Each structure stands twice: as structure tokens, then as C-alpha cells.
Structure 1
Amino acid sequence: MVILIGNQKGGAGKSTLTLLLANFLTLVKRRNVLVIDMDHQQSVAQKYEKSKITDNVPPYEVMAADLADYPSMHELLNATSTNQVVLIDLPGKLDDDGLIKIFQSAHWVICPFAYDELSFESTIFFSVVLQKLNPRAMITYIPNRVKANVRYELRRDVDEQLANFGQVTEPLPDRIDFQRITTLHTPPSLDPVVGPVFEQLYHDYIQPL
């Protein structure tokens, strides 16, 4: 299963969400996971390299890659076990034709966003492009780093618009603990925050496959 984590808007929390989901799938669900870091900053790959300095065995592999690498990688992914979950942390821009094949290969797309006008517009644009390139892909929107003072009316209106493309989950609040996630560990204080969201998504999308 190929899962993309992306949005047109930089700073939406793609890399953090990639780490959270990879940790959940491997440490909680004991699934075989491969992470492909295509984000320009490659923060997930950097954390992975740092983790290898310790004596701990990483629960999953992280590969740093460019968009140009994907055509050959896609053939390799097709030959792997159907039990493997591949998470791809996408770049923050859609202005590269190399993204076309990646979008077309996705089974499921997770799109983090914030409740503000710029993030909403970027999320809608990302969704329209994705739907044109791969209308079969499932889309899940995760409100991320949500402040406590977000107006209910704004949240309701945004959720209604995004529901035209896919599912909107419960929001993840803005917590300092998100900065302490590694490829080996998710702080226990985040379990009650992200656990219910990921459990539901696992039950709906991954477990049936």
C-alpha cells in the first residue's frame, strides 16, 4: 500500500505526521513500513540517520530520494510484499512533473492542514490536482497544530468544503511534544492525542487491505 503525506502548503506538518504514522504502524500495529523522504528539507531522513548512531535497531527504514528517482523505485515497490506499507513524505510544491507518477501510484493520501485561509486554499488546490491525476485515491484530511481559539464557524465551513473530496478527522492540537518525535520513539504524552485518530484510520483504510 502506497500512502502519500502531502499538501501544497509548506509547514503543514507533513514530516511530523509521517513520523507519527510510521511509529504507530510499526510500534503499535507491527506492520512492515518503508518511509521515502522526498521533502526538500529531508528532516525525516536526517532523524533516521541520527537514530542509527545509537544501539537501537530502527523499527523501519527511511530512504531519502528525489522525484526523479521515483519511476525506478515504483517498479521496485510493485515487486515488494503486499503487506508492506510505503509512506512517502512529499515536497511542499506541485510545480514538478515528477509528482504525476507518484500521485497516480497512490492508494491513499493524507493531507494535514491548518484552519486558516492560506492553508485552506492550498489544500483545495492540492486536492483538485490529486483528484484529476488519480480519482481512485482516497483522501483523508487531518487538521494539524490546531489552536484552541479557532472559531467553530470557520472549522465547520472548512470541514464541509473538504468533505467534498474526502474524510476529515478529529483535529490534532498544537503541542510542544510534537517536536520530540524521532524515528525510534513517540512521546507517551502524545498517545491519547494521536492514538484515536490513527486507530480509526487504520481500521478504515489499512486493515481491510
Structure 2
Amino acid sequence: MVILIGNQKGGAGKSTLTLLFANYLTLVKKRKVTVLDMDYQQSLASKAEKAKILENEPLYDVVPADLKLFPSLHSALSSRSGEIILIDLPGKMDDDGLLPLFAAADIVLCPFAYDEFSVDSTLLFAMVLRKINDKAPFIFIPNRIKNTVKYETRAEIEKVMQRFGVIAPGLADRVDFQRISTFQTPLILYPVVLPLLDLIYSQYLEWGEQT
């Protein structure tokens, strides 16, 4: 199973969401996971290396890779029974190497914020991906929601987004997200993230537990 975590806008929270989901799948659901870090910054691969230096063994393999290597990597990983491949995508869409990834996606997770620039980038990402893959569930995830801020255009934004996918429960803005690593998610975050991750798992992944 291939799960893309992407958005055209950098800083949307793709890498953090990838770590959250990878840790959840391995620690809570005991699934086999490989993370392909295809973001240009490769921050996940750096975190994995730092964990090893600190003698904290990562829960899963984090493989830094160029987009052009995806077909070969996909072929190799597909032979592993029950493997879940999480892919942290680049924050840009100007590379034709993205097309095979879009086509191969079984699920797409798209973190976004309710500001105008983020929404425009999010919708462009959704439109392009949907032209290539109109089958994979597309899940928009509101990120860094501030309880003190009133999002006046939220209803209008969500109405447009629902043309391309579903909108999941959001993640509150918490400084603790900066402490997530490739070997743990701070326990204080579990009440914040479990409603979202449990929902995604039960609705879109649970059927794959025996495959």
C-alpha cells in the first residue's frame, strides 16, 4: 500500500504528519512501514540519522530518494507482504517525476492551513493529482488549527475541497509537535492525534491488515 503525504505548499506539515502516521502504524497498529523521504530538504532522513547517533533505533526504515527512483523502489517494496509505504512528497509540483507516484497512490493525505495562500496551493495539488489518479481516497487534514482564531471562510473552503476528497478532523497547533522523532511520539500528543489517526486507519487501512 502506497500512502502519499503531500501539498504543493512547503511548510504545510507534511513531514510532521508522516512521522505521526509512521509512529502510529508501527507502535499502535504493529504494521510494517517504510518511509520514502522524497522531499528536497529530506528532513525525515536527517531525523533518522540523528536518532541512530543518539543510540535510538528508528521504528522503521527512512529511505532518502530522488523521485526518479520511485518505480524501482516501489517494485522492490511491493514484494514485502503487508508493507505500508509512506511517501513525504516535495513541496513543489514542477517535476515530472511526481507522475508515477500520483498514479501509484492508494491513499493521499494532504495537510493544509485555512489561509488563502495555503488553500490555493492545496487545491492546485488536489486538481493535478485527481487528473492522474481519481480512485485513491483523498483526505484533507486541517493543520495547526488555532482555537483563538475564527476562520470566516472555512465553510466556503471546505465546500470546494469536498469536490476532490473528504475533510478529516483537524490537528490543533501545539509546540509539542516539534518533539516528534522517528522513534517516538510524545505521549502528551496522543489525545490530540489519535482521533484523526484512528479514523484514517479504520476507514481506509484496516482492510489491509491481513494482506
TM-score class, shorter: over 0.9
CA distance in 2, matches of 1:177, 1:51: 18
Alignment of 1:28-177 (within 5 A): 28-81=28-81, 83-177=82-176
Counterparts of 1:34 and 1:74, CA distance in 2: 11
Residues 77 and 83 in structure 2, CA contact (< 8 A), matched pair in contact too: no
In 1: Cα distance, 2:192 partner to 2:184 partner:
15
Report the secondary structure of 2:163's partner residue.
coil
Q: Give SS of 1:136's match.
A: coil
Question: How large is the RMSD of aligned CA atoms in angstroms?
Answer: 1.1
Counterpart residue identity of residue 122, structure 1: S
Residue 152 of structure 1: how far off its partner (Å)? 4.5
Structure 1 residue 93 displacement after superposition: 0.4
* 1:184 counterpart = 2:183: yes
Residues 115 and 150 of structure 1 are in contact (CA less than 8 Å); yes or no, is this contact kept in structure 2? no
- Residues in 2 aligned to 1:110 and 1:26: alpha-carbon distance in whole angstroms: 18
**Structure 2: runs of 5 or more not aligned:** none
Shift of 1:76: 1.2
What CA distance in whole angstroms lies between the structure 2 residues aligned with 1:198 and 1:34?
17
1:58 is displaced (CA, Å) by 2.1
Inter-partner Cα distance in structure 2 for 1:15 and 1:195:
17
User: After superposition, where does 1:192-207 map in structure 2 within 5 Å?
Assistant: 192-207=191-206
- Counterpart amino acid of 1:202? Y
Higher mean displacement: 5-14 or 68-77: 68-77
TM-score, with length taken from structure 1:
0.96
| Counterpart-to-counterpart distance in 2, 1:118 and 1:54 | 38
User: 1:84-110: CA deviations, max 9, x gaps?
Assistant: 110000000010000000100000000
Partner of 1:129, secondary structure, is helix
In 2, the alpha carbon distance for the partners of 1:152 and 1:127 equals 21
Is the 2:112–2:140 Cα contact (8 Å) retained in structure 1?
yes
Q: Percent identity over the alignment?
A: 55
Give the AA of the match of 1:94. Answer: M
Where structure 1 has 5 or more consecutive residues not aligned to the other structure, the ranges are: none
The alignment's TM-score, normalised by the length of structure 2, stands at 0.95
Match status 1:26 vs 2:26: yes
User: How many residues of Structure 1 are paired with residues of Structure 2 in the alignment?
Assistant: 208
- How far apart are 1:155 and its partner, in Å? 1.8
CA drift of 1:79 comes to 2.0
1:134 CA displacement: 0.8
Q: Which runs of 4+ in 1 moved over 6 A?
A: none
Partner of 1:13: 13
CA shift for structure 1 position 161? 1.4
